[in-house]
């Protein structure tokens, strides 16, 4: 478990970072403020991620944080990936989710479930060139994730995929897709099978990009498979064991989304603090009024408490502990805090907060998705309840 030794050898508090972690965080924060900050408004308005930024993510090692060094990655920890998502989301949650999906879902699935040949072929590309997507959701398979209709048929020397995926993050930027299918719908979860699909495979098309309320620079697309020919060697894991790939990967991904919402809340809070010191009414800054002070104090307290929950889940994952309940709690609570903080930030800005001239209206729009994707809040509550009550 990555913690510093405190006084007399006791573990340091969760919010205290090691020197390496602090340097890692500070470097990302500086990059986010200087290189991403000036592009946020334009990317949001156009609904497009700046391509040059994605190249910089690779150059800085942000797209392969946990990938082992032998495959060209950073060889870092899951906690470092969470720090990166938090700091990027503090400036733009659209950027945060791109890096999050790459690290906590796609790379994670390849590292954990890929065979040696797949790792040698794909991990260096993910670390240095490619963007990835994780394709599970369908029109009829949302919270009921395994009600899949995308079908994979064994054709002897290859697999043939047919169907459609919806709501796929990074769809426009991605070169590689982890696609969850079924080989036998009548077999239920035992028919679920995962594949590695490259963008150029015949019969595979990236469909329309959704026009969204928030995180607009992050592409969300449909994927279309029409007799898509997938090589035999691109089976990920085992036939009929794709449910394990899906579930166990998403458990980690939920901590990533919690980190995105945490960063969003921090960004909105800092904007509100800054504005409260600048805006004057009745001859004094509004930060001098107790009502505003109390609002900011409440926001700060909730953010700090959320950071403890998110960091704890990430530390537990790195230390090898079971973290399913903690991940679900982080994913449940993070969007609630993000929505409250962003909403309050808008109010502190007053009329200006309702305009696009200031950053808080975007944080407010971006916050809503947190309670929907990678497992709705109700699904997190169901998971927590089962574990609290001793169920599976």
Catalogue the active-site residues. Answer: 374
Exposure string of 174-212, with b = 16+ CB inside 10 Å and e = fewer, is bbbbbbbbbbeeeeebbbbbbbbbbbebeebebeeebeb
Phi, psi angles (nearest 5°) of residue 81: -60, -40
For residues 152 and 155, give the distance between their C-alpha atoms in angstroms, rounded to a whole number: 9
For residues 153 and 229, give the distance between their C-alpha atoms in angstroms, rounded to a whole number: 10
DSSP symbol at 37: G
Q: CB under 8 Å to 20, separation ≥6 — which residues?
A: none
Please give the torsion angle defined by the CA atoms of residues 30, 132, 330 and 16, in that order, rounded to the nearest 10 degrees: -30
Half-sphere exposure of 35 (CA within 13 A, CB side): 19
> Which residue carries 């946990």 as its tokens?
66
For residues 272 and 105, give the distance between their C-alpha atoms in angstroms, rounded to a whole number: 32
Q: Cβ atoms within 10 A of the Cβ of 229, count?
A: 15
> Which residue carries 């369908």 as its tokens?
138
Exposure string of 145-163, with b = 16+ CB inside 10 Å and e = fewer, is bbebebbbeeeeeebbbbb
DSSP symbols for 313-382: HHHHHHHT---HHHHHHHHHHHHHHHHHHHHHHHHHHGGGGGSTTSTHHHHHHHHGGGGTTTS-HHHHHH
Tokens of 218: 């992050």
Degrees to nearest 5, angle at CA 289 with 285 and 291? 135
Q: CB under 8 Å to 389, separation ≥6 — which residues?
A: none
């Amino acid at each position: 478990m990555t913690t510093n030794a405190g006084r007399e050898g006791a573990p340091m508090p969760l919010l205290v970072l090691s020197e390496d972690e602090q340097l890692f965080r500070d470097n990302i924060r500086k990059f986010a403020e200087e290189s991403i900050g000036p592009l946020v408004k334009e990317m949001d308005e156009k609904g497009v991620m700046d391509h040059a930024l994605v190249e910089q993510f690779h150059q800085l090692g942000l797209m392969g944080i946990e990938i082992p060094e032998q495959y060209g990655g950073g060889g870092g920890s899951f906690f470092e990936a969470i720090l990166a998502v938090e700091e990027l989301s503090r400036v733009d949650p659209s950027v945060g989710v791109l890096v999050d999906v790459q690290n906590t879902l796609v790379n994670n699935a390849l590292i954990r479930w890929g065979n040696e040949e797949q790792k040698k072929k794909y991990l260096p590309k993910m670390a240095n060139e490619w963007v990835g997507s994780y394709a599970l959701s369908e029109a009829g398979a949302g919270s009921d994730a395994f009600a899949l209709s995308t079908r994979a048929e064994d054709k002897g020397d290859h697999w043939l995929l047919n169907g459609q995926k919806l709501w796929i993050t990074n769809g426009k930027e991605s070169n590689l897709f982890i696609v969850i299918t079924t080989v036998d719908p009548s077999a239920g979860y035992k028919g679920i099978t995962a594949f590695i699909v490259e963008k150029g495979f015949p019969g595979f098309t990236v469909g329309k990009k959704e026009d969204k309320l928030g995180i607009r620079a992050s592409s969300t697309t449909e994927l279309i498979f029409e007799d898509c020919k997938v090589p035999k060697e691109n089976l990920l894991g085992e036939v009929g064991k794709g449910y394990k790939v899906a579930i166990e990967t998403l458990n980690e991904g939920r901590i990533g989304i919690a980190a995105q919402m945490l960063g969003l809340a921090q960004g909105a809070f800092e904007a509100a603090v800054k504005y409260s010191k600048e805006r004057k009414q009745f001859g004094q800054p509004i930060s001098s009024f107790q009502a505003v002070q109390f609002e900011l104090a409440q926001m700060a307290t909730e953010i700090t408490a959320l950071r403890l929950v998110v960091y704890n889940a990430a530390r537990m994952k790195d230390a090898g502990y079971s973290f399913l309940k903690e991940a679900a709690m982080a994913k449940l609570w993070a969007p609630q805090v993000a929505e409250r903080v962003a909403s309050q930030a808008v109010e502190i800005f007053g009329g200006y907060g309702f305009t696009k001239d200031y950053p808080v209206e975007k944080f407010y729009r971006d916050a809503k998705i947190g309670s929907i994707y990678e497992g709705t809040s109700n699904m997190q509550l169901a998971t927590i309840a089962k574990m609290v009550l001793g169920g599976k």
